């Protein structure tokens, strides 16, 4: 409560009071009950599909955990992040949408905001690491000769430390988590940028280190890969069969990684745009009914990846000699 009071004082001094301090009950839904029910059903379907899909990926990978390649270890970590979002976060929002209000108070709001940001940041940084791995593997062939499994586990430790740091920074007093304008979900307090220079620094730091910089690395990596593939197609044809097969597998993994990154960014960019506008645009200029759509779209990101794995795997299997037999053996080995 003291933190809220200080936030209110700071906001009042700057002449701007965020939406969650303008009314006595910041957790009451600002949507119609019908809209909340539709959103609740939508998130329920997304949550079930995401949990089953990512759980399946983790289960199948655990059966061959000692044979996983470094790139596949990263893919499993991405599935863990997506499963975390579905299991830890979605039940809170589903219950709240069906209840027509946020049911878990400020403590639950901060926990939900932290968990969503933690796993979301972990997903993006994992995809950044995967894109760098693909770039080095395709564009610098000697890289693949020294990369071992323990390097992948070191990278995982860095990813989790990075996500933990940025998700926990708001609890150090430089930021916060707050309810969304529509009341039944929580997120980073983007509205601090409207209140003070310190709030602007916090929001800009989050945007740069947890969105813009990772996205720039991803785009750079795949642009370089595309250019390299165009220039080296004839070169690979002169290699022996073993090298050609290895190249085909690497390109398969690259296609999976590119589609995963594209799906994630397409799901999250609309939410990022609305958040930036809320932080630096005219106060309260984003309509409440409009702000809920990017939020729901972002929450669907965890569902796409298992579908991408399956589609690419089936396409890859059917293109090989043996067709269905190869597809069956691929399912077992995956």
Q: Which residue has the tokens 């090298």?
A: 243
Residue 241 · residue 214 · CB < 8 Å: no
pLDDT in the model for residue 24: 73
pLDDT digits (tens, 9 = 90+) for 188-200: 999 888 888 888 9
> Hey, where are the domains in the chain?
33-316
Q: Measured between alpha carbons, how far is residue 244 from residues 20, 27, 157 in Å?
A: 58, 58, 33
pLDDT digits (tens, 9 = 90+) for 227-242: 887 766 555 555 555 5
Round the average pLDDT of the chain to a whole number and report it: 81
- 33-316: CATH class: mainly alpha
**How does residue 15 score in pLDDT terms, banded at 50, 70 and 90?**
low
H-helix or E-strand containing 188?
strand 186-188
pLDDT in the model for residue 3: 47
Q: How many residues does this entry show for the chain?
A: 334
Which of 159, 160, 156, 166 minimizes the C-alpha distance to 205?
Answer: 166
Written as six digits, the tokens of 63 are 């059966």
pLDDT in the model for residue 243: 56
Residue 162 · residue 125 · CB < 8 Å: yes
pLDDT in the model for residue 8: 43
pLDDT digits (tens, 9 = 90+) for 65-109: 788 888 788 888 999 999 999 998 899 999 999 999 999 999 999
Overall average pLDDT of the 174-181 stretch: 90
How far apart are the C-alpha atoms of 38 and 318, rounded to whole Å?
A: 39
pLDDT in the model for residue 245: 60
pLDDT in the model for residue 226: 82
Residue 286 · residue 181 · CB < 8 Å: yes
Residue 123 · residue 264 · CB < 8 Å: yes
Encode 222-256: b = buried (16+ Cβ within 10 Å), e = exposed: bebbeeeeeeeeeeeeeeeeeeeeebeebbebbeb
């Amino acid at each position: 409560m003291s933190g809220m009071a200080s936030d209110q004082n700071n906001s009042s001094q700057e002449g701007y009071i965020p939406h969650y301090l303008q009314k006595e009950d910041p957790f009451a839904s600002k949507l119609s009950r019908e809209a909340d029910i539709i959103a609740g059903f939508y998130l329920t379907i997304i949550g079930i599909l995401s949990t089953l899909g990512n759980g399946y990926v983790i289960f199948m990978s655990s059966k061959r955990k000692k044979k996983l390649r470094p790139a596949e270890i990263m893919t499993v970590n991405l599935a863990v992040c997506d499963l975390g979002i579905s299991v830890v976060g979605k039940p809170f929002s589903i219950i709240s949408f069906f209840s027509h209000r946020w049911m878990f108070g400020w403590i639950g709001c901060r926990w939900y905001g932290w968990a969503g940001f933690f796993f979301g940041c972990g997903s993006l940084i994992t995809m950044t690491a995967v894109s760098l791995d693909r770039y080095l593997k395709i564009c610098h062939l000697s890289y693949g000769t020294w990369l071992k499994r323990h390097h992948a586990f070191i990278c995982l430790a860095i990813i989790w430390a990075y996500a933990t740091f940025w998700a926990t920074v708001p609890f150090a007093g430089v930021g916060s988590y707050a309810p969304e304008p529509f009341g039944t979900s929580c997120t980073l307090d983007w509205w601090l940028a409207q209140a003070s220079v310190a709030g602007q620094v916090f929001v800009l730091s989050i945007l740069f280190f947890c969105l813009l910089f990772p996205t720039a690395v991803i785009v750079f990596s795949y642009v370089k890969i595309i250019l390299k593939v165009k220039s080296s197609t004839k070169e690979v044809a002169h290699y022996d069969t073993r090298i050609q097969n290895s190249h085909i597998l690497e390109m398969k993994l690259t296609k999976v990684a590119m589609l995963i990154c594209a799906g994630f960014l397409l799901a999250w960019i609309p939410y990022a745009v609305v958040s930036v506008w809320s932080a630096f645009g005219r106060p309260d200029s984003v309509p409440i009914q409009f702000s809920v759509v990017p939020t729901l779209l972002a929450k669907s990101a965890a569902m796409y990846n298992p579908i991408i794995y399956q589609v690419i795997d089936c396409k890859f299997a059917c293109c090989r000699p043996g067709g269905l037999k190869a597809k069956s053996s691929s399912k077992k080995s995956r």
